[in-house]
Structure 1
Amino acid sequence: MSPAPLPDNPSDAPLPILLCGTAGRQLAIRQSEIAEILPLPRLKVVPEAPPILSGAFHLGGETVFVLPLAELLGLSGPSEGSALYHHLLLLPPRAGEVRLAFLVERVMESVLAEPHLLAPGASFNDCVEGDLRFQGELVPLLNAGRLLAAEERARLAAFADRSLARGAGFEPRGRT
């Protein structure tokens, strides 16, 4: 599946933006790209998981795999507060794909902003689609649908298929 197209803002109206912090940095994501903000649940360790995967949890009968946004972006820095207060940015379901959530240290606030959009090709997989000024700081605007490359999505889907198939072997058999 090809990555999601870069959303545009033809009206030049301010966009609802979610500001979050991870690895000591502020990052922005369009609110329309996030289905829900969740407190960090107890994550289950997934056997044979790729090292980037923080774990998984169940939500409404569906398995959600969690990826730490800082590691995904190659960021390192001081952690903000206790993991007890970290958040998950649940992505909307995409047909034929694994359900994902990004782990961030803190969701700070929601703002209306007019980001400066970058030209296509300005960042890896166009995952940074623009930037905006917030409290005097330049904050990158991420495109949640492009944070994983197509190959990474395919590998995660193949892993999830194996993991879910293995888990199905532990389900009780139906009575006849």
Structure 2
Amino acid sequence: MGHEIPVLEPPKARKRLYHIPDNYLAFWFGYVQPRRALVEQGMGGAAVEEVKALFPQYMSRVYEQAARRAVQALHPGYRVGRQWGKAGGKTYEIDVMAVGPRGDAIYGEVKWSEAVDCAGEKERLREKALPGLKPAALYIFAKSYRRRGPGCLDLADVERIVEANGI
């Protein structure tokens, strides 16, 4: 079992999310095991259809991990992770956040979607910026874009960055 702490929290913080770090086991226990009874009852086709419908949800989580690795490769020396909490009475979640040695921050949003509006997503991400942590860079990660711009990375970009850095 692994755990994740918001990137802005100290390592011993109690605020954490637990998860299965191995993607194969996470897929098995999250998607296959709960449908085991269907398979055992000879309804394997129904189980497959249910898993297919939920597969984008699983891939979104895996793509978030790859996006964080890409940011780590692009910005060595930054502490990279996710950030979540409450600000101004509202809960928030930032898919990718990196904090630099000088207190600057990099924000990223991950969309496991096609034809994403990069400019619109960047504007929404800019609104999530935390007080006192001015965005040094904004990244949007998606499968593909309607229109690309700076900081808009697609699946091929992430794959290239991760492979080039042996991550």
The TM-score normalised by the length of structure 2 is 0.28
**Which fold has the larger relative contact order, with Cα–Cα distance below 8 Å and residues 6 or more apart in sequence?**
1
Higher strand share: 1
Higher helix share: 2
